[in-house]
Amino acid sequence: MIPVILVLLFLGLIPAYIAQTKGRSFGAWYVYGLFLLPITLIHSLLLSSNDRKCPQCAELVKIDAKICKHCGNKFEEQSSPEVDAVKRNRDKGGW
Ligand SMILES: [Zn+2]
């Protein structure tokens, strides 16, 4: 029985990691994953990221931010296909 629990504890890290890369809480998603692993895994993959990576300091900042809160880098107003796709998705009411 113990190895099964260990496998579950390990597999719970996968959706937690995916959610973290999209700016969500690692801890909350890990607990979520322990209880509902298959659902959490799908949910984490479907999450749309509301963050983008700052080109200067590589920290995650909100997609709407004009200035990086970590290093003060000003973002150009030019839109990238990635940012546009996220905004379109969010405006449609996607979760
Ligand atoms: Zn920055």
| Pairwise CA distance, residues 87 & 91, whole Å | 6
Between vectors from CA 30 to CA 26 and to CA 34, what angle results, nearest 5°? 175
Low pLDDT (below 70) residues in the chain = 1, 77-83, 87, 92-95
CA of 3 to the centre of ligand 1 (A): 42
Per-residue model confidence (pLDDT) at position 93:
58
CA of 66 to the centre of ligand 1 (A): 11
Per-residue model confidence (pLDDT) at position 13:
94
Per-residue model confidence (pLDDT) at position 67:
93
